[in-house]
Chain A
Amino acid sequence: MSALMTPATKHDQPDKRPILLDVKNLEVCFHTPEGTVYAVNNISYQVREGEVLAVVGESGCGKSVSMMALLGLIPKPPGDIAGGQAFFMDRDLLPMSEEELASIRGGEIAMVFQDPMTSLNPVLSVRRQMTESLLRHYDMTGEQAEKRAIELMELVGIPDPERRLGDYPHQFSGGMRQRVMIAMMLACNPSLLIADEPTTALDVTIQAQIIELMVRMREHLGLALIWITHDLGVVAGLAERVIVMYAGMIVEEADVDNLFENPQHPYTLALLGALPRVDRRRDSRLKSIPGAPPNLLIAPRGCPFAPRCEYTFDRCREERPPLFSISAGQHSACWIDLATGKPRER
């Protein structure tokens, strides 16, 4: 039970864990008949071994695309990785051939998606899908793979795995399907697991089960976790470090405590103000953020949040803010220093 709340957050000391994934200046766009969509604009971040990083943002902010780009999962065309590098254990993923990537996907790096029903093949039994990656990445006989699959299903808490192995995805409930997905992803001992809104389609009690499972798996297997979500509540209970994205940009990066206690970007501040609290009595109306996220068809001049931001001044509309370093581990892409209310200089 308590495992859920214990991501190590020793933010007073520098993190000495080696860097596993180092993404530099990643840019992804889509060339569509209507024009070029700038989905990911020059983002850089790192993930350390065994770390839990949350990537937060609303739909269309580029959080999923930026991850799929790493694994070559963006259809090209219309997708285009316009620039950047992504070093995973010192190898750049972006220029890799499909063949090289295929050996990494599902092996060193695994990905779990939002809707397990669409990521599982409905006409193949779970046995077939569970053993596929084992047979692909390891020198195993079918019998060995099946034995391992049963172990994995047991590990993720699927009751009666021997019997369930022959079942098809529709015979599992949503939560159980997501467990099957996670078991498949763990099959090849990945060192990095990217989870793209893995609990969004699930009910809260099932979400709690899956989060608990993921935290336990991470501790047990020592893998690093990138958790993509729009739910700041999930982030608070799970992540060590958080990246907040808006319109394809990283607007803030901080360790989880600082992000919630001392947000340094107006967008983060606004998101937190727009959230009702289950654990508190209502004290005021929700602070809504006016307007809607920008159209990414137009490469924005200035800060993409400027039209919705209450701190906007002239420079915000003219010049895109760089990611300023606020303190150890905390960065904000804003021309205003929220602590003092004064403009920042480059």
Chain B
Amino acid sequence: MIDNPALSSINQALADNGDTRPLVRVIDLKKHFPIRQGIVFQKTTGQVRAVDGISFEIDRGETLGLVGESGCGKSTAGRTLLGLYPATTGESYIAGQHVQTAKGEEWMLIRRQAQMIFQDPFASLNPRWTVNAIIGEPLRVHNLIESDTGRVERVKELMALVGLDDRYINRFPHEFSGGQRQRIGIARALASDPLFLVCDEPISALDVSIQAQVVNLLEDLQARLGLTYLFIAHDLSMVRHICDRVAVMYLGVIVEMSPKDELYEEPLHPYTQALLSAVPVPDPKQARKRKRIVLEGDVPSPINPPPGCRFHTRCPIAQPHCATHEPEWREIQPQHWVACHEVEPKFRS
């Protein structure tokens, strides 16, 4: 068992200073991608509004799940809040640092403190690099360890931390299975002693028996290193298992966010309700009893999202005003946020 004194000391220091602010803050973040036409004289003919105004906070040591169907903007949201994509408008803060304006050393600090784990363990590792080079790269980039031997030692420590045999340090990614490759990706992300990890569909490409291994590893690492996760996924069962709170995205906006059990047991937004009812349950008797809300049609294009509430074109309870007025993002019960005209606050005293 290797502890990470560097990291726990950062967390400790912040706690000692009475810093109980959320580690991550996202305020009305937008990311629009221009659609350009023409080869020489390019002009912008439209915008893909991939992320269109999302706000949330993540506390230290917390796991926030960001769920939604493909194309809803959840991956773009993760990358934009890390500063990997420049935000169109809005801001994000990681450990108090303003991501959008950070430059030079500040920027390098954010890059160190926030890391990303990618979906595809085949595409996200350089096939020509050894495990040593891959995991050691952040150590070199951030000048964390000067000596070569020191770096190799640290890489071996990291390999042990994620359950890889350090004898394989000079092997190449193709010599590993999918689950092992994902462990390499996790070790690389941990190399710079991050506080915050964006896990972008980290288990979607893995087989069921391997998924549980990786999820348990992520939980162990969080407990040991005090990590904060943004867990982006479309597997709602796994999100319920691993997350503390869950935010549901649809077409570039968050439609509902709440502590997980409340969200799964009492979803308020009609989209959340439909999404949850569509998740298959591995229990035939339950499956026969469950009522499924099958949504009609497909998700509209984010180029011209529907006016008013974006979900109104598929919503089973849509009213005329839903097509014209954008619903307000309201905290309807403590910690339970929803953007829907038709949801009434029930528990307000």
Contacts and interface: CB of A to CB of B under 8 A. Distances in A.
Interface stretch (A17-25, A189-197, A226-234, A317-325): A226-234
A1 interface: yes
B209 A205 contact: no
B207 A288 contact: no
B8 interface: no
B277 to A, nearest CB: 8
A176 interface: yes
B307 interface: no
A205 B275 contact: yes
Interface residues of B, number: 47
B207 A293 contact: yes
Contact of B278 (A205, A230, A236): A205
A206 B207 contact: no
B35 interface: no
Contacts of B215: 276, 286, 288
Interface in A210-242: 212, 230-237
Given A4-B292, A260-B283, A289 B209 contact: yes
A279 B281 contact: yes
Interface string B288-306: 1111111100100000000
Contacts of B289: 5
**Of A204, A235, A270, most B-chain CB atoms within 10 Å:** A204
Contacts of A308: 209
B287 A236 contact: yes
B237 A278 contact: yes
B280 A231 contact: yes
Interface string B185-204: 00000000000000000000
Given A233-B279, A260-B284, A282 B208 contact: no
Contact of A286 (B212, B261, B282, B293): B212
B177 interface: yes
**Of B215, B216, B234, B241, most A-chain CB atoms within 10 Å:** B241
Contacts of A230: 207-208
B276 interface: yes
B179 A292 contact: yes
A278 B70 contact: no
How many chain A residues sit at the interface, stated as a range, is: 35 or more
B137 interface: no
Contacts of B280: 204, 207, 231, 233-234, 236-237
A281 interface: yes
B211 interface: yes
B124 interface: no
**Of A9, A271, A292, most B-chain CB atoms within 10 Å:** A292
B209 A271 contact: yes
Interface in A147-180: 173, 175-176
Nearest to B288: A5
A49 interface: no
A270 B209 contact: yes
Contacts of A287: 212
A236 B241 contact: no
Given A274-B211, A275-B282, A286-B212, A173 B294 contact: no
Given A205-B69, A292-B177, A9 B284 contact: yes
Contact of B292 (A208, A236, A281): A208
Given A206-B298, A208-B278, A292 B210 contact: yes
A58 B208 contact: yes
Nearest to A6: B288
B212 A1 contact: no
A288 B279 contact: no
B282 A272 contact: yes
Given A274-B209, A278-B264, A204 B294 contact: no
**Of B234, B261, B276, B282, most A-chain CB atoms within 10 Å:** B282
Interface in B206-222: 207-213, 215-216, 219
A76 interface: no
A206 B288 CA distance: 19
Interface in A260-301: 260, 270-272, 274-279, 281-282, 285-290, 292-293
A236 B284 contact: yes
A59 B283 contact: no
B274 interface: yes
B238 A276 contact: yes
Contact of B282 (A236, A257, A292): A236
A200 to B, nearest CB: 11
Contacts of A59: 207
A203 interface: yes
Contacts of A279: 264, 281, 283, 286, 290
B341 interface: no
A260 B287 CA distance: 12
Interface of B: 69-70, 177, 179-180, 207-213, 215-216, 219, 234, 236-238, 240-242, 261, 264, 274-295, 298
Given A204-B234, A288-B213, 7 more contacts: A204-B275, A205-B69, A206-B298, A232-B282, A272-B282, A276-B240, A279-B283
12 contacts: A1-B294, A173-B298, A205-B294, A208-B292, A209-B295, A236-B286, A237-B281, A260-B283, A271-B208, A274-B208, A274-B211, A285-B219
- Minimum-distance CB pairs A-B, first 8: A233-B280, A276-B241, A237-B287, A288-B212, A203-B69, A208-B278, A5-B288, A286-B212
